[in-house]
Amino acid sequence: MKKGLILCILIFITGCNNKINQVETIMEQNLNSNICINYPITNISKLDILIEKTVSNIHKDFKKNTSSTLNNKSELNIDYSYYEINNYTMITLTSYINDTINTKNFIETFLYDSNQNKLLDINDVIDTSNTKYFSFDENYFYLYNNINNEIETKKYEISDLNLKIDISNNEIKKIENKTETKTKILDPNGKFIALTFDDGPSIYTNKIIELLKEYDINATFFILGNKVEIYKDILKKSIEYGNELGNHSYNHKWLIKLDDESIKEQVNKTQEVIKNTLGYTPTLFRPTYGSLNEKVKKDTNLKIVLWNVDTLDWKYKNVNSIVERATKKLKDGNIILMHETYKRSYEALKKIIPIIKEKGFTFVTISELEEINKLRAYEK
Ligand code: ZN
């Protein structure tokens, strides 16, 4: 009796600790390639070491094999999914390489058992299988074959299989409450600037929104769908503070290279996760790498928002040069592009806000800026 009770408490405690608390993002753009890598940090060292090593190997291989033909830019995209059930934490990494001749897809799953503090492979999960790649969710178990750069998927009902681990779900999903956003009164006779941040949320988001709050200003954040769940508390706070969220695709694939169906999936999956997790529906969309074509325009019914002041904070590591680019030639109605995935961007923002305020501009979100433009058009 006593033993059973102690065991239950231990499971409960370890179960609570296994959450992702951070997503690592690597973004690189140059003449030869667009690279976007997102992977989770779980604070389970066995899992984190393996994931980091796997990601780093794919990244290195891609760089080694990318040929430099200027008009044929290649793309590497690494994304993840996270699933936690009972004492198991599962991370699935998917990598996608588009070298303009071929697309290569690869999938690999890492499964950790917190009761045994060990990583499990396919043999720990199911008896007979001719592949080592698998994953599962609430209802289905998947087996993958990575053949000829494509992923062949076989799907089974969990209840039909004789699995060696217990992945049955007893939890009831909570329904999130809708968050009310506040409205402000804006005088169209002023001078306005919209700050926008791409590629988040990240470990710097909280600092950024707290800084904005100190100045009682708001910004627009074009976020990635695959990071919403992990940073949902910070995102909820951001919405409460009056910031605007826009859609920046699910995992930052280079959209102009995708077919219609995949573009729609990138946009709609992000809309869904934001709506289901935060009770918020974005109305704005910013295409990845700022690349637009007719397909992308047609496949999203959200308002497309680009920018006209580029801080190039992803490229320049010097805080002052970011500040200079953001503040030098500002005009009424400008939209400033920054990224919330770099510490230097946050450091620059601390200097940027007071300089812009000093110049007499009022900070607004993109939707507020549109509202002002409408009012002005009406008054003319
Ligand atoms: Zn981006």
Q: Is residue 380 very low, low, confident or very high in pLDDT (cuts 50, 70, 90)?
A: low
From the candidates 99, 198, 199, 299, give the one annotated as an active-site residue. 198
The pTM of this model reads: 0.74
Query: What separation in Å is there between the alpha carbon of 318 and the centre of ligand 1?
Result: 20
Other CB atoms within 10 A of residue 275 CB: 15
pLDDT of residue 350: 98
Which one of the listed residues 48, 79, 313, 339 is annotated catalytic? 339
233 an active-site residue? no
169-193: burial string, b at 16+ Cβ within 10 Å, e else: eeeeeeeeeeeebeeeeeeeeeebb
| Mean pLDDT computed over every residue of the chain | 88
How many angstroms does the Cα of residue 145 sit away from the middle of ligand 1? 31
Question: How far does the centroid of ligand 1 lie from the alpha carbon of residue 66, in Å?
Answer: 21
Q: Which tokens in the block code for residue 344?
A: 């230097």
**Dihedral of alpha carbons 361, 340, 106, 32, sign:** positive
203-207 long-range contacts (CB < 8 A, ≥24 apart) are 203/22, 204/340, 204/341, 204/342, 204/343, 204/345, 204/346, 205/231, 205/234, 205/235, 205/238, 205/340, 206/234, 206/237, 207/346
Mark whether 252 is an active-site residue.
Answer: no
How far away, in angstroms, is 175 Cα from ligand 1 center?
30
So what's the pLDDT on residue 32? 87
Phi, psi of 184 (to 5 degrees): -115, 155
> What pLDDT digit, counting tens, does each position of 339-352 carry?
999 999 999 999 99
Least confident of 93-102, 273-282, 324-333, 344-353: 93-102
- Give the per-residue pLDDT at 171: 54
Cα of 13 from ligand 1 centre, angstroms: 37
